[in-house]
Amino acid sequence: MNARFRIAEHFMRVRTEIHGWPGNSEATRALRQKTWTVILRCYFCHRRFTVRSVTLDRLALIPHAVECARCGALPSASPRNLIHMIIDMREEAHGETPEPDSSPPNA
């Protein structure tokens, strides 16, 4: 068995056995299950668009992975770092369907 694998396996076992570990607390699990509506501003057309039902662990990925709903611009990993900007986020109530984003462009 590879030594790196054994070390990684050991740390994973220790990490999951620690009571009160922040990533495994009831409050953290509840926070990860909540969903959010995220309002982004496109880096290309500068118009707002909405992405719904985003969990907190995926929030950081949204500006890098979602195409603009208005113009279709995809984020780029170029040196210029062309990504969308998070403008606002709202917690979705359980069973609630958020209103569509009807704001005018550049508002």
CB atoms within 10 A of CB 94: 8
Residue 73: which residues within 8 A CB-CB, separation 6 or more? Answer: 42, 43, 44, 45, 67
- The token duo for 30 is 């509840």
Say if residue 39 is in the same domain as residue 85: yes
The DSSP H or E segment spanning 3 is: helix 3-17
pLDDT in tens, 70-92: 999 999 888 888 999 999 999 98
Say if residue 45 is in the same domain as residue 87: yes
Say if residue 38 is in the same domain as residue 77: yes
| Gap between the Cα atoms of 5 and 58, Å rounded | 27
Its domain, for residue 4, covers 1-33
- The token duo for 16 is 């999951």
pLDDT of 56 > 50? The answer is yes
Say if residue 41 is in the same domain as residue 89: yes
Q: How many domains does the chain have?
A: 2
pLDDT in tens, 31-41: 777 899 999 99
On whether residue 103 sits in a domain, the answer given is no
Say if residue 86 is in the same domain as residue 75: yes
pLDDT in tens, 43-52: 999 999 999 9
pTM: 0.61
